Structure 1
Amino acid sequence: MSEDERYAVRCRATYAQANTEVVLSHVSALPFTVAPLWGFDLSEVHLTREDGRAGRKERGVRRHCGKLLAGDVIETNGLLVMSPVRASLEATMLGSAEAGLVVVNHFLHRGDFDLDTLRGRYDDTMDRWPNSLPTDLVLRLANPLVESVAESRTEYFCFQRGLPRPIAQYEVREGGVVVAHLDFAFPDLGFWIEFDGRVKYERYLRPGETAADAVLREKRRQDMVAELTGWRCLRITWADLADPDALERRIRRLIDSIAAERSRRRAS
């Protein structure tokens, strides 16, 4: 099993052995709502008591206390777990803002809730919870157009490094018809970012395609977009996100290069 799968098994076992009425909450609710666990500490199982008594922490289990409102708890596969709205807000208070943004964007893109619903639940009783400062940031950055963990991390990287906020899933049109969606576009700066992961070239192969065919198809798509927009493409990978200093230098060099080229054209 993967680390995420092992964590889900531990959560289920801990829930089954609880002596009081509890709900799987925080990051421990995420496996059962089919949400990503990227960036979270999986060393503890999180439960919320339904009896209102004080929480405690012992032997890899953290029991929380918190007011439960109608709709906060759902039942799935014989387990009581926090709803996507409640679990995503709790997650933003448990891990980093980046990890919280990954979860919130996942649920928003999937359509489990909208931003107004999320903000409403936060303002209802959770805005004064401990460690809620990252939640305010996540709510400002959340974007239902962002489709994956990698894209959420890329958008957070741009914020953290003081880069302009890109437009996610930018539509490129030819003759009024949408011919491409770009992961992130910077129209004013004249470039776009595409995230290259294995999923793009393996899971989404068309019938009869090889990985090499998919690479060539993506190259033709990039050339078409460049011809229609006049922009440059910057391709990044997980390795780039693991070295943010180097990635920032690449992006800023590209911005400077495009600005210099535009200046030369105006001068000629």
Structure 2
Amino acid sequence: MTDNVYSHHAAAALWRIPLLGAWPMKVDVVGQRESGGRSSEQIRRRAGAHDMEVCTIDDLRVTSPAQTAADLARILPRIEAVAAIDSACWRGRSGPRASVEHVRAIIDRNAEDRGGQRATDAVTFATDLAESVWETASRVVIEELGFPRPVLQQSFRWSASSTYRVDFWWPEQGIIGEFDGLVKYAPAAGVDPRDTLIREKVREDRLRSMASGFVRWTASDVRDAERFVRLLSAAGLPRTPPRHAYANAIRA
């Protein structure tokens, strides 16, 4: 009986973990380091640690959510690695999820393995508060461009019955940031699109009145470093020399 299990991108697909970047054409399978077998046009075989965590989904053997995130963090570019961990750990996940601490423990157990430093860097920056891969991408690029690290999912109370949560908040500058994925404007059954737009306009107006600055951006802004810098700077965010090289090749 083979000890191979679905892993990496294949495991992420089975666990319904959203990822940033292109999905490969081959299915990832991982086995113990001693296992034989070769990759093919459809299968990419990878070596696995002897203590890798394995679960079962519909009779399929698959790496656990935490193991999947740790494995992906070893092979993906930094921005995509952080997104993989964030997605696996997000508090709002409807299915099984990992914790940042669990992913870090798996990475630390095999820190000397290939990609260990890359994974360690990614999990150090990871969080369970990012609601989408593009919120993660925004957060990583914000840091890489030299802007201060924001508070995530900050709540603002307008009245006894109205509280609004924002994606990003810079308390020292009093600035609110929102990634606009446009999903909030998508038509919903039984809901007049005009009502949706009005509610969002009221929400933004109220938030603007409680902050010194307010800035929105989209995925295309995150992809364009110069445009993103202009948006954040115009909102009043200070910028210092970047601590990381800008990940200017977001592949999705």
Aligned ranges for residues 53-132 of structure 1 at < 5 Å? 53=35, 56-59=38-41, 61-69=43-51, 72-109=53-90, 110=93, 112-124=97-109, 126-132=110-116
Aligned ranges for residues 1-80 of structure 1 at < 5 Å? 20-50=2-32, 52-53=34-35, 56-59=38-41, 61-69=43-51, 72-80=53-61
| Paired residues of 1:54 and 1:65 also in contact (CA < 8 A) | no
1:221 to 203, 207, 225: 203
State the distance in 2 between where 1:199 and 1:230 align: 24
State the distance in 1 between where 2:26 and 2:66 align: 21
Cα shift at 1:100:
1.5
Deviations 1:6-50 (A, max 9, x none): xxxxxxxxxxxxx94411111221110111132145133221124
Deviations 1:114-153 (A, max 9, x none): 22222112212x2112122221221111111111112111
State the distance in 2 between where 1:193 and 1:51 align: 45
User: Hey, what does 1:187 align to over in structure 2?
Assistant: 171
Q: Counterpart amino acid of 1:186?
A: W
State the distance in 2 between where 1:115 and 1:20 align: 30
State the distance in 1 between where 2:37 and 2:77 align: 22
State the distance in 1 between where 2:33 and 2:148 align: 47
Count of matched residue positions in the alignment of Structure 1 and Structure 2: 234
Higher helix share: 1
2:156 to 152, 172, 179: 172
User: Hey, what does 2:233 align to over in structure 1?
Assistant: 252
State the distance in 1 between where 2:170 and 2:237 align: 14
TM, length-normalised to structure 2: 0.83
**Higher gyration radius (CA):** 1
State the distance in 2 between where 1:129 and 1:40 align: 24
Q: Counterpart amino acid of 1:236?
A: W
Q: Counterpart amino acid of 1:222?
A: E
In the alignment, structure 1 residue 135 sits paired with structure 2 residue 116: no
TM, length-normalised to structure 1: 0.78
Higher relative contact order (CA 8 A, sep 6+): 2
Q: Secondary structure at the match of 1:93?
A: helix
Q: Which runs of 5+ in 1 are unaligned?
A: 1-18, 258-268
| Paired residues of 2:214 and 2:235 also in contact (CA < 8 A) | no
In the alignment, structure 1 residue 151 sits paired with structure 2 residue 135: yes
Cα shift at 1:214:
1.2
- Assess, with a 3 A threshold, how the Cα gap between structure 1 residues 48 and 233 changes in structure 2: closer, same or farther: same
Q: Secondary structure at the match of 1:74?
A: strand
State the distance in 2 between where 1:249 and 1:57 align: 46
Q: Secondary structure at the match of 1:172?
A: strand
Q: Secondary structure at the match of 2:119?
A: helix
| Paired residues of 1:92 and 1:138 also in contact (CA < 8 A) | yes
State the distance in 1 between where 2:79 and 2:192 align: 34
My pick for the range that moved more, 158-167 or 42-51, is: 42-51
Q: Secondary structure at the match of 1:209?
A: coil
State the distance in 1 between where 2:211 and 2:132 align: 27
| Paired residues of 2:88 and 2:98 also in contact (CA < 8 A) | yes
Q: Counterpart amino acid of 2:208?
A: A
Task: Calculate percent identity across the aligned residue pairs.
Answer: 24
Q: Counterpart amino acid of 1:121?
A: I
